Chains A and B, each alone.
Chain A
């Protein structure tokens, strides 16, 4: 503790500290802790309940995907990238597919692009609902968990009815989507389309979802204790967020209206209307509000996409054995957690020479130590939780 006289807030406080001369305690939060979303470890120096220094330690979940990808073929890598951010598996596939298709120069059919967009937005909804479930739980409220997970289950059921997988669909193929989408258990060779009744079921689910969002407003957003815990806690100015490469809802909560869905054309977002939601202050409450509003916007996108979806083939013409020409490409996409990008270096084989994955959570948590200095122990949880990271996405 520095003891400059003019920096002292209250003299008696300091004299007590001088008399006792208590050393700070090292508190290891994680890697096994209920609120670290997996295996993040935070080494905090605490003076009583006040945090004086924070060091996050990552790497407990490093699975070496970038290295494994060098000895896999492109279709095999789809199965790997599913598992990076496991709460929004489908959305992880999209930028990788877009990057490969860009290198190969493939035009994806419009219907496939729409199916991809619907499922990506559903992945976004399910990811944000997971946040709606876990964040109040970290602040001590148990019931929103059940409301959010019930709604998420509906979305996962829809994803499963199309792709056969709830978490890891592995549904995209280079040049489109899996050709017998929704074929069900019969596994006939004939090309089938979306399962029967899927579009109507989706419309109903989105209506339900929008009313659940209103329930969340009533149960959580308006709660005085919730506001007391979140408002003004963990304020991240836009400049700080930009310095650390924060992206996604966390960046938008700081008031920066940056959304790759409006900037790039990897999916037909230009044909639907939606708002880029931004916050004002950049505190934990804004991050909550932005995600809640993004669920609504994603539901609107799905509603429009379901109405507009064109008919046509699900796959472009691609060779049986996929060989990517020599070259380099970087494609990025707006994932639920933020900006995700794949940098592929191809030497012209069946697999990439080098694959670099830019994942959102890694950049997002790098700013957290800046926000944690001087807060209380309960605020560590309140701030960390509001960033909604997934350790698989951090460590890859």
Chain B
């Protein structure tokens, strides 16, 4: 029975693609809810609170499900002066970028929906689409705070897209490919002056060589990812104490839920991409012997990065808009350029 199903799927391209897409569409809410719940509980721990407690009967695990059901039931309010079609489609566009990013993440060897040869290029392009959605939301809300939030998001994107690209170029030079699975394979095959690991275990199964050699790149990428995700300390587009949650001000109900879910799912994808580029993705001890450990390792690495993001969020105040710009242009861009030069020289020498 199972054999025949597998055979049918392998023979039928469209059925396989449909199955993969359903899996991705299922993974987005699951990852979003998991990270959202982790944020609720971790922030509670950091603030001497209990956090969600009653929903679901134990640890409040169903809190976000209950929130989601509540959002769906709410009235769909669109301001009278809003640009209605733009206002309606903005959350969908944000979600499109999230779904698009999930497509290329390799969860195990060959375990990506689409293994594109220009994978990381695609990631950088698709991840900026969400900003267009945010800009649309800010513009169409007919609210001055929303407008300022949307424009801040656009300015932030321009400032942080560049350092992110520069950080990625270092990895691409090291790996010699833009394919995400290719980058992971390059880490697994990495050898330093002829030494490539212990027996059949490559170095990358214990610590990714790119994490050490591209540490500056990792820092730049992580900071840029924080800015791109609008997380504290770079959450100026939302900034509830200044802009009354910025572009989100006029959204309610299901459309707000879309933004909310996309935010947490994007945390998942950006962490997954950072893990793929710098932490060896699904690689880990004995993963070449027991392949199903791969997704577990990847999720663990994503969890560590998401924890860092949550930790930052509940510790730091936010920057001012001009300070963010000067950090990006005066610190991160020169650092990224220097990183590329050093990496290129290292590559040639090695």
Cβ contact within 8 Å between A225 and B233:
yes
Tell me, yes or no, whether B148 is within 8 Å of chain A by CB: yes
Minimum CB distance partner of B233 in chain A: A225
Known: A140-B233, A142-B47, A146-B49. A377 touches B317 (CB 8 A): no
Known: A141-B316, A146-B49, A225-B233. A376 touches B321 (CB 8 A): yes
Tell me, yes or no, whether B144 is within 8 Å of chain A by CB: yes
Cβ contact within 8 Å between B319 and A229:
yes
Bound-state Cα–Cα, A375 to B127, Å: 32
Bound-state Cα–Cα, A376 to B320, Å: 9
Cβ contact within 8 Å between B47 and A146:
yes
Tell me, yes or no, whether A49 is within 8 Å of chain B by CB: yes
CB distance from B63 to the nearest CB of A (A): 18
Bound-state Cα–Cα, A368 to B243, Å: 20
Cβ contact within 8 Å between B46 and A226:
no
Cβ contact within 8 Å between B242 and A228:
no
Task: Please give, as numbers and ranges, the residues of chain A lying within 8 Å of B321 by CB-CB distance.
Answer: 49, 376, 378
Cβ contact within 8 Å between B46 and A378:
no
CB distance from B207 to the nearest CB of A (A): 29
Cβ contact within 8 Å between A139 and B318:
yes
Minimum CB distance partner of A32 in chain B: B244
Tell me, yes or no, whether A93 is within 8 Å of chain B by CB: no
Minimum CB distance partner of B232 in chain A: A140
Tell me, yes or no, whether B10 is within 8 Å of chain A by CB: no
Main SS of chain B's interface residues? Answer: loop
Task: Please give, as numbers and ranges, the residues of chain A lying within 8 Å of B242 by CB-CB distance.
Answer: 35, 377-378, 380-381
CB distance from A315 to the nearest CB of B (A): 41
Known: A138-B241, A378-B239. A229 touches B144 (CB 8 A): no
Interface string of B143-163 (1 = CB under 8 A from A): 010001000000000000000
- Of the residues A139, A141, A146, contact of B48 by C-beta under 8 Å: A146
CB distance from A285 to the nearest CB of B (A): 12
Tell me, yes or no, whether A27 is within 8 Å of chain B by CB: yes
Bound-state Cα–Cα, A141 to B233, Å: 9
Cβ contact within 8 Å between B316 and A140:
yes
- Of the residues B46, B49, B144, B317, contact of A225 by C-beta under 8 Å: B317
Within 8 A of B (CB), among A9-26: 25
Bound-state Cα–Cα, A49 to B233, Å: 19
Within 8 A of A (CB), among B67-108: none
Tell me, yes or no, whether B307 is within 8 Å of chain A by CB: no
CB distance from A43 to the nearest CB of B (A): 12
Bound-state Cα–Cα, A291 to B92, Å: 47
Task: Please give, as numbers and ranges, the residues of chain B lying within 8 Å of A35 by CB-CB distance.
Answer: 241-242
Cβ contact within 8 Å between A223 and B320:
no
Task: Please give, as numbers and ranges, the residues of chain A lying within 8 Å of B256 by CB-CB distance.
Answer: none
Tell me, yes or no, whether A262 is within 8 Å of chain B by CB: no
Tell me, yes or no, whether B61 is within 8 Å of chain A by CB: no
Tell me, yes or no, whether A150 is within 8 Å of chain B by CB: yes
- Of the residues A141, A146, A376, A379, contact of B317 by C-beta under 8 Å: A141
Within 8 A of A (CB), among B316-350: 316-323
Cβ contact within 8 Å between B239 and A143:
no
CB distance from A89 to the nearest CB of B (A): 26
Task: Please give, as numbers and ranges, the residues of chain A lying within 8 Å of B236 by CB-CB distance.
Answer: 378
Interface string of A207-247 (1 = CB under 8 A from B): 00000000000010001011011000000000000000000
Minimum CB distance partner of A26 in chain B: B144
Task: Please give, as numbers and ranges, the residues of chain A lying within 8 Å of B244 by CB-CB distance.
Answer: 33-34
CB distance from A80 to the nearest CB of B (A): 32
Minimum CB distance partner of A377 in chain B: B242
Cβ contact within 8 Å between A140 and B322:
no
> What's the count of A-B pairs with C-beta under 8 Å?
76
Tell me, yes or no, whether B189 is within 8 Å of chain A by CB: no
Minimum CB distance partner of A139 in chain B: B317
Task: Please give, as numbers and ranges, the residues of chain A lying within 8 Å of B48 by CB-CB distance.
Answer: 146-147, 150
Tell me, yes or no, whether A175 is within 8 Å of chain B by CB: no
Bound-state Cα–Cα, A381 to B240, Å: 11
- Of the residues A33, A142, A147, A379, contact of B320 by C-beta under 8 Å: A379
Cβ contact within 8 Å between B49 and A376:
no
Within 8 A of A (CB), among B119-144: 144
Tell me, yes or no, whether B117 is within 8 Å of chain A by CB: no
Bound-state Cα–Cα, A380 to B316, Å: 19
Task: Please give, as numbers and ranges, the residues of chain A lying within 8 Å of B240 by CB-CB distance.
Answer: 34
Among A27, A34, A140, A146, chain B packs the most CB atoms within 10 A around the CB of A140
Task: Please give, as numbers and ranges, the residues of chain A lying within 8 Å of B233 by CB-CB distance.
Answer: 140, 225
Interface string of A24-55 (1 = CB under 8 A from B): 01011000011100000000000001000000
Tell me, yes or no, whether B314 is within 8 Å of chain A by CB: yes
Task: Please give, as numbers and ranges, the residues of chain A lying within 8 Å of B315 by CB-CB distance.
Answer: 141, 143, 219
Tell me, yes or no, whether A137 is within 8 Å of chain B by CB: yes
Known: A140-B232, A143-B47, A150-B48. A381 touches B241 (CB 8 A): yes
CB distance from B240 to the nearest CB of A (A): 6
Minimum CB distance partner of B145 in chain A: A27
User: Closest 6 CB pairs between A and B?
Assistant: A140-B318, A139-B317, A146-B47, A141-B317, A140-B317, A138-B241
A-B contacts, 27 listed (Cβ < 8 Å): A25-B144, A34-B244, A35-B242, A49-B322, A136-B317, A140-B232, A140-B316, A140-B318, A141-B315, A141-B316, A141-B317, A141-B318, A145-B47, A146-B47, A146-B48, A147-B48, A150-B48, A223-B316, A225-B316, A225-B317, A229-B317, A229-B320, A377-B243, A378-B321, A379-B320, A380-B242, A381-B242
Interface residues of B (CB under 8 A from A): 43, 46-49, 144, 148, 232-233, 235-236, 239-244, 314-323
Sample of 11 more A-B contacts, CB < 8 Å, known A146-B49, A228-B323: A28-B144, A34-B240, A140-B232, A141-B315, A146-B47, A147-B47, A377-B148, A377-B243, A378-B236, A378-B321, A379-B320
